[in-house]
């Protein structure tokens, strides 16, 4: 170690720019002063917490807009289906009843009398 020391002499080989240490204290104190000042918040920083909420709201709006027309379309197609079924069933009714079928009241009574027995008629007259 002694030879080692003789050769290198513990000399510091690094240097600094001229006057560096003279100005160092002032620069450090300035830096501290900067740190201690309450920073003025920029407009963007102030509204930053609300920006997230607005973004969520807009996203929700977009999702609703994208989904709602689909359900509307489904409802419309269901409505159309129902209407067409009604139309079909009314067509069927027309097929069952002949347009020329128009019985007189005597014909109806006669038909009913043939279908109902005498006991039922007596019961209907008394009550």
- Asked whether position 7 contacts other proteins by CB under 8 A, the answer is yes
Residue 122 CA to residue 62 CA, distance in Å, equals 74
Q: Nearest 5 degrees, angle CA 44-CA 42-CA 55?
A: 15
Looking at 20-28, 61-69, 84-92, 102-110, which segment touches other proteins (CB under 8 A)? Answer: 20-28
Looking at 30-38, 39-47, 66-74, 94-102, which segment touches other proteins (CB under 8 A)? Answer: 30-38
- Asked whether position 2 contacts other proteins by CB under 8 A, the answer is no
C-alpha distance across the termini of the chain, in Å: 137
- Asked whether position 19 contacts other proteins by CB under 8 A, the answer is no
Of these, 6, 16, 95, 123, which contacts other proteins (CB under 8 A)?
16
Report how far apart, in Å, the C-alpha atoms of 54 and of each of 42, 46, 58, 68 are. 19, 14, 6, 21
Report how far apart, in Å, the C-alpha atoms of 11 and of each of 1, 2, 7, 8, 15 are. 15, 14, 10, 7, 11
Nearer to other proteins, 34 or 117 (CB): 34
- Asked whether position 18 contacts other proteins by CB under 8 A, the answer is no
- Asked whether position 12 contacts other proteins by CB under 8 A, the answer is yes
**Backbone phi, psi, residue 10, to 5°:** 50, 25
Sites of contact with other proteins (CB under 8 A): 1, 4, 7-8, 10-17, 20-21, 24-25, 27-29, 31-32, 35
């Amino acid at each position: 170690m002694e030879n080692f020391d003789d050769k290198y002499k513990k000399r510091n080989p690094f240097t600094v720019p001229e006057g560096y240490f003279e100005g160092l204290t002032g620069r450090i104190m300035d830096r501290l002063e900067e740190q201690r000042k309450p920073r003025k918040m920029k407009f963007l920083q102030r509204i930053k917490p609300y920006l997230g909420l607005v973004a969520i709201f807009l996203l929700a709006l977009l999702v609703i807009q994208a989904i709602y027309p689909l359900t509307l379309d489904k409802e419309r197609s269901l409505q159309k289906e129902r209407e067409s079924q009604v139309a079909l069933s009314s067509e069927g009714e027309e097929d069952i009843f002949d347009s020329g079928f128009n019985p007189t009241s005597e014909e109806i009574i006669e038909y009913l009398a043939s279908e109902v027995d005498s006991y039922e008629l007596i019961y209907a007259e008394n009550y």
